[in-house]
Amino acid sequence: MGLELKNLYDDFRNADTIKAYQKIINEDAKGLTKPINIMEVCGGHTHTIMKYGIPQLLPNNINFIHGPGCPVCIMPKERIDHAYMLSMEEDVILVTLGDMIKVPGSNGSLQDARSKGADVRFVYSPMECLKIASENQDKKIIFFAIGFETTTPMTAALLDVVVKKGIKNIFFHINHVTVPEAMSLLISDENSKIDAFLGPSHVSVISGSKIYEEFPRDYNKPVVVSGFEPVDVMQSISMIVKQFIENRCELEIEYNRLVSHDGNIKAQNLNEKYFEQRSHFRWRGLGDIPKSALKLKDEYKEYDAEVIYKEILLSETIDDHKLCICGDILKGLANPPECSIFGTACKPSSPVGSCMVSSEGACAAYYKYGNLI
């Protein structure tokens, strides 16, 4: 969208609200005893923050740390290689969401697989697998499932239809990851500079705000669940600052017109029916995180492409380039321009690390909005 900060100020009712929050935050921030670093967990927020120049609106003692972002950028190469290898099977149609098109694995991306003749299809909704399956009865449809909590129940809903209708040619390769486990890892790092979290609203529309309860309670870090519009982000920052000056440490919901404490119970039940926690999962950039992803329960292994194709799917891990400092960026210990190959060997058209892969990764957002090009 060609929407810029200046339009926002010139033309929108929103602008007044933003300015009002800016004033409140500036006033309140004078009462802070030390600077605060706010991690926005989701790349959607990173995008809003960069696009609307929110850091420039804030006083110097409020900083952002760009978080792990997005289920696409954190997908380790070995998982993308799985998708690539499955798509190369003669009788397989590999189906996934459009987000995955260009993410490079060690042999290339799914787009590359397609140009080598693999049948890879990018869909808007997992439900499109049903049509593809019925039109291609002689083929095996493998849905390469990605996403945070927001997207997991949609995969479960597809599997539910597959099981109930007895569809025999749809299988699943599950890569759903969970946000709170990654946040715990980041906050437990002894070098962590995170003082508070901005939680993504869409995750909590499904999971409720309850998934963040441990952060104020066990780590003494406030969490505000925030919407994605600039006004939402400004309001959430204001709520965080207020917690600090009033010496509170709580879980709050900025987006309470949509997010509840409990979330969408039907969606959660579907998830529980079909998925269980993996003992661990490797996040690109962050490394191995205990219990941070889901897999199909054993009783559904007949649908599990990871089980069925065990023989051809390598289990070894593949690391990113040694110059890439994504890990530090995701932990808030470094900024993208500090990477020695930022903007040179690594750019959006030829990404090296996870933070450049997706348009919402911290490096990509800097590249696009940081006036550094």
Partner 1 sequence: MCLSIPSKVVEIDKEQNVATVDTMGIKRDASLDLMEDGDVKIGDYVLLHIGFIMNKIDEEDALASIDTYKEIISLMDEEEKQKAILEADECENRTL
Q: For binding to ligand SF4 (CB under 6 A), which residues are involved?
A: 42-44, 69-71, 148, 200, 324-326, 329, 336, 339, 341-342, 346, 352-353, 355-356, 360, 363
DSSP H or E run through 207: helix 201-207
- Output the smallest distance, CB 124 to partner 1, in A: 6
Q: Count of residues for the chain?
A: 373
Instruction: Residue 204: name its binding partner from partner 1, ligand SF4, none (Cβ under 5 to 8 Å by kind).
Output: none
Q: Which residue's entry shows tokens 């900060």?
A: 5
Q: 115: which residues sit within 8 A by CB, 6+ positions away? A: none
Instruction: Residue 148: name its binding partner from ligand SF4, partner 1, none (Cβ under 5 to 8 Å by kind).
Output: ligand SF4
Q: Which residue's entry shows tokens 């930022």?
A: 342
Instruction: Residue 329: name its binding partner from partner 1, ligand SF4, none (Cβ under 5 to 8 Å by kind).
Output: ligand SF4
CB 271, CB 313: distance < 8 Å: no
Q: 96: which residues sit within 8 A by CB, 6+ positions away? A: 83, 110, 120, 121, 122, 123, 143, 144, 145, 146
Q: 147: which residues sit within 8 A by CB, 6+ positions away? A: 71, 97, 154, 155, 176, 177
Instruction: Residue 342: name its binding partner from ligand SF4, partner 1, none (Cβ under 5 to 8 Å by kind).
Output: ligand SF4
- Hey, which residues between 68 and 87 contact partner 1 (CB under 8 A)? 70, 72
CA-wise closest residue to 172 among 305, 72, 281, 273: 305
CB 364, CB 356: distance < 8 Å: yes
Q: Among 110, 142, 179, 205, which residue interacts with partner 1 (rule: CB under 8 A)?
A: 205
**Which region, judged by CB under 8 A, interacts with partner 1, from 79-87, 153-161, 208-216, 283-291?**
153-161
Instruction: Residue 270: name its binding partner from ligand SF4, partner 1, none (Cβ under 5 to 8 Å by kind).
Output: partner 1
CB 242, CB 250: distance < 8 Å: no
CA-wise closest residue to 350 among 112, 120, 74: 112
Name which of 24 and 161 has its Cβ closer to partner 1: 161
Q: Would you count residue 106 as binding partner 1 (CB under 8 A)?
A: no
Q: Mark 248-287 with x for binding to partner 1 (rule: CB under 8 A) and - for no binding.
A: ---------xx-----x-xx--x-----------------
Residue nearest to ligand SF4 (CB): 353
**Which region, judged by CB under 8 A, interacts with partner 1, from 74-82, 152-160, 185-193, 321-329?**
152-160
- Output the smallest distance, CB 158 to partner 1, in A: 9
Q: Which residue's entry shows tokens 């809903």?
A: 157
Instruction: Residue 54: name its binding partner from partner 1, ligand SF4, none (Cβ under 5 to 8 Å by kind).
Output: none
Q: How far apart are CA 66 and CA 219, in angstroms?
A: 19
CA-wise closest residue to 179 among 157, 211, 210: 211
Given the rule CB under 8 A, which residues bind partner 1? 1-3, 7, 11-14, 42-44, 47-48, 70, 72, 97-99, 101-103, 124-128, 150-151, 153-154, 157, 160-161, 200-202, 205-206, 228-229, 257-258, 264, 266-267, 270, 357-360
